[in-house]
A and B are shown apart, each in its own frame.
Chain A
Amino acid sequence: MKGIPVQIDQVKKSFQSLEVLKRIDLSLRSGEFLAVVGRSGCGKSTLLRLIAGLEQMSAGEIYINQEPITGTHPDLRMMFQDARLLPWKTVIKNVQIGLRTKETTIAEKALEMVGLTDKFDQWPSSLSGGQRQRVALARALAGQPKLLLLDEPLGALDALTRIEMQQLIEDLWSKQQFTAILVTHDVSEAVMLADRVIVIEAGKITFDQKIELARPRERNNDFVYYEQMILDQLIKKSRRTHYEIEFTV
């Protein structure tokens, strides 16, 4: 199983009069891990939702595996900020969602991968937030996706659980080699996981950088260098606008 390439071609998206994505061009190799960072409200989720087929674009075209998308894609799975487990299904049944077989072996394996073998028959309401996200990850992986979209999946977790989950995601990604797009607020998470980081500002991609660090990554000087570069990009912009405001006052 291998990842599939994604190409985003002059995509625009407006909600009524609000132009959220102005013109996005982006292409991802098979198996590439892309991180998308940007300020709150800049359109990161909108971009993912367009790729997932949950939202219609206003202009442009998105190609998954060279085919223009017309809706949801069978080889695509998405993880949301909240786990979105069905509360009326047990953990194992939740992981089986979207699988064609009634066999539980695939789901069991996926739960094993995320380290939740003892929770098969529990209701989601009895799990902790971190455990729920693990189940959601298992559910996404059980479908053997070739493209995995992650919309701030770790945003609500504590620092320690986050680090564990980041390692888990990196591990599974390097084993299964799916293409991954991760939206995150956390710059060091982006540098930790991604082959390439982009920054979206005012509806456009304003920064696109390969992260050339060996894996598994450590927080050494080079790591901090990348982190700082992305942070500068994010903050510079706001400083500039800040000055402009001061000057006009």
Chain B
Amino acid sequence: MQSIKTLINKSFVVWVVPVIFLVGWQLSGSFGFLSAETLPTPWQVVKGAERLIVDGSLIHYIWISTKRAFIGFFIGGLIGFLLGFMNGLSRISEKLLDTSIQMVRTIPHLALIPLVILWFGIGEESKLFLVALGVAFPIYLNTFNGIRNIDPGLLEMGKVYGLKGKVLFWQVILPGALPSILVGVRYALGVMWMSLIVAETIASDSGIGYMATSAREFMQMDIVILSILLYAFLGKLSDFLAGLLEKRWLKWHPNFSRSK
């Protein structure tokens, strides 16, 4: 019993199921249970990746997609963050803007794709616009709520101890809202990749989504699978980075410092 428990606690255990899955997938392809037209084997996917690495297009597409994702995230995040702070700190600004923002938020941003294509064509702007739009709302909402939910007792303490303006912002308001903001960032990262996948698949001439669409036209199943895996990997990677930020910035928080 004890040895099973210690075995489960080892970190390699989380990889057991994925590895079994991969091996099973490879074997069922090799023995002909799965035809390469339905699902290429992992090995064929690796071969496909190698081909694209050699001709340089894979790195290029990953670079393009990542760049789009982060520029869009930066623009949308900044807008959401600033609006969240303005409305969180000022009742007047909230009265003026919050209802309008909530109304725009109810439109699924991907429904705007036809309009966006008409406006921007399939250039960079259309992708950045969609990513930024998708990212802005979760960041806005969480920043706003983060500020509104700061312990009023701490604000009062700050007042008695003479904290005002900039000092109050940096020492009390921002750190108080940060846990909520980072929840927003994590969620927004998911929205970021999803918006980009859709935008690149429908309206693009470069990037991972475009790679998948054009591979489909030439029936290159291995490349289609490769693109899906790439998105999964990039999504996981950005989630991991957000986790690192949380560990670093919230190390005072009992929920985040509770590591072994």
Q: Interface of A with B (CB < 8 Å)?
A: 52-54, 72, 74, 76-78, 80, 82, 84, 86-89, 97-98, 123-125, 139, 143
**Extra contacts besides A53-B160, A80-B153, A84-B153 (7): CB < 8 Å:** A77-B160, A77-B161, A84-B157, A86-B171, A87-B253, A125-B252, A125-B253
Among candidates B154, B160, B175, B257, residue contacting A78 with C-beta atoms closer than 8 Å: B160
| Chain B contacts for A52, CB-based, 8 A | 160
Residue-wise interface mask of B (227-260) relative to A, using a CB-CB cutoff of 8 A (1 in contact, 0 not): 0000000000000000000000000111001000
| Chain B contacts for A78, CB-based, 8 A | 157, 160
- Check A87–B252 contact: CB distance below 8 A: yes
- Check B153–A82 contact: CB distance below 8 A: yes
Residue-wise interface mask of B (151-182) relative to A, using a CB-CB cutoff of 8 A (1 in contact, 0 not): 10110111111110000000110011010000
For B174, give the chain A residue with the smallest CB separation: A88
For B255, give the chain A residue with the smallest CB separation: A125
- Check A74–B162 contact: CB distance below 8 A: yes
Q: State the CA gap A195–B238 with chains docked (Å).
A: 62
Minimum distance in angstroms from A48 CB to a CB of chain B:
10
- Check A72–B154 contact: CB distance below 8 A: no
Could you tell me the dominant secondary structure of chain B's interface residues? Answer: helix
- Check A143–B159 contact: CB distance below 8 A: no
Q: Count contacts on B: residues with CB < 8 A to the other chain.
A: 20
Q: State the CA gap A207–B239 with chains docked (Å).
A: 63
Q: A88 and B159 in contact (CB under 8 A), knowing A80-B153, A123-B252?
A: no
Residue-wise interface mask of B (126-157) relative to A, using a CB-CB cutoff of 8 A (1 in contact, 0 not): 00000000000000000000000001011011
Q: State the CA gap A139–B154 with chains docked (Å).
A: 14
Q: State the CA gap A134–B22 with chains docked (Å).
A: 58
Minimum distance in angstroms from B156 CB to a CB of chain A:
6
For A49, give the chain B residue with the smallest CB separation: B156
Among candidates B153, B159, B253, B257, residue contacting A72 with C-beta atoms closer than 8 Å: B159
Minimum distance in angstroms from A187 CB to a CB of chain B:
27
Q: State the CA gap A124–B172 with chains docked (Å).
A: 15
Residue-wise interface mask of B (96-113) relative to A, using a CB-CB cutoff of 8 A (1 in contact, 0 not): 000000000000000000
Q: State the CA gap A124–B252 with chains docked (Å).
A: 8
| Chain A contacts for B176, CB-based, 8 A | 88
- Check A84–B252 contact: CB distance below 8 A: no
Minimum distance in angstroms from A90 CB to a CB of chain B:
8
Q: A54 and B160 in contact (CB under 8 A), knowing A80-B153, A86-B172?
A: yes
Subset of 7 A-B contacts with CB under 8 Å: A72-B159, A86-B154, A86-B175, A88-B175, A89-B252, A98-B161, A125-B252
Q: A97 and B160 in contact (CB under 8 A), knowing A84-B154, A123-B257?
A: no
| Chain B contacts for A84, CB-based, 8 A | 151, 153-154, 156-157
Q: Which has the most chain A C-beta neighbours within 10 Å: B156, B161, B162, B176?
A: B161
For A124, give the chain B residue with the smallest CB separation: B252
| Chain A contacts for B156, CB-based, 8 A | 54, 80, 84
Minimum distance in angstroms from B165 CB to a CB of chain A:
14
Minimum distance in angstroms from A72 CB to a CB of chain B:
6
- Check A125–B154 contact: CB distance below 8 A: no
Q: A97 and B171 in contact (CB under 8 A), knowing A54-B156, A54-B160?
A: yes
For B156, give the chain A residue with the smallest CB separation: A54
Q: A125 and B163 in contact (CB under 8 A), knowing A54-B156, A80-B153, A86-B154?
A: no
